[in-house]
A = this chain, B = another copy of it.
Amino acid sequence: MSRLPLPIQNLIDEFSRLPGIGPKTAERLVFYLLKNSQDQLNQFADRVKNLRAQITVCQNCQNYSLKSPCEICSDPSRQKDIICIVSRPVDVVAIEKTGEYKGLYHILGGAINPIEGISPENLKIKQLENRLNSSNGQIKEIIIATNSDMEGETTALYLAKLFKPLNINITRLGRGLPVGADVEYADEVTLAYALKGRRQM
């Protein structure tokens, strides 16, 4: 029999619903929050409640945004002739952090995964096709930046095949050793890619 008061148990249940948060972790988080001031709790609550209130989905790139078209799509300083295709909005955040990319994005909303029943129709591929078709040849390159796991690779191959007739330069993120990695501990597939992709010093 659990003797936790209902308001505490209720919030533990909420946290337990989140991905990667087990009941023990949820308990720890809630007991931490119990020591917060009511002002802090109110702020947290308001931010949960308002998470989606102002958020829309960009009609072009499908990213979460405060407006549509989003900040990136409507930024006149961004290159309009290159689209980077990613699975999730967090991938955009990661790529933006590099400061190396100045083009546009397209968020698929996942990757092809037959086991979990995610087929191309469940992704924002139709919207991408429309974007490319209506660009009147303005798009010169698409970078497929899906993950290098099975699902990401499948999605990349599917897209490469689909867009081949469009005569656009289709590229995939380079592969090799991650920065800071030991050659000794690299898996053979990564090492083979690193060899093939070697550069003049």
Which residues of chain A have a CB within 8 Å of any CB of chain B? 1-8, 10-11, 14, 18-21, 25, 27-34, 38, 41-55, 64-66, 71-72, 88-90, 92-93, 96-97, 99
Contact = CB atoms under 8 A, between A and B. Distances in A.
Contact of A11 (B2, B7, B48, B88): B48
A20 B14 contact: no
A54 B96 CA distance: 45
Contact of A52 (B10, B19, B34, B89): B34
A55 B34 contact: yes
Contacts of A93: 2-4, 27
A31 B11 CA distance: 19
A55 B25 contact: no
Majority-rule SS of A interface residues:
helix
Among A4, A21, A27, find the residue whose CB has the most chain B CB atoms closer than 10 A: A4
Among A29, A50, A51, find the residue whose CB has the most chain B CB atoms closer than 10 A: A51
A5 B52 CA distance: 10
A47 B10 contact: yes
A50 B32 CA distance: 15
A47 B7 contact: yes
Contacts of A25: 20
B51 A8 contact: yes
Contacts of A43: 14
Given A34-B64, A45-B46, 13 more contacts: A3-B71, A4-B89, A4-B93, A7-B55, A14-B44, A14-B47, A18-B33, A19-B28, A33-B51, A38-B52, A41-B49, A44-B48, A48-B48
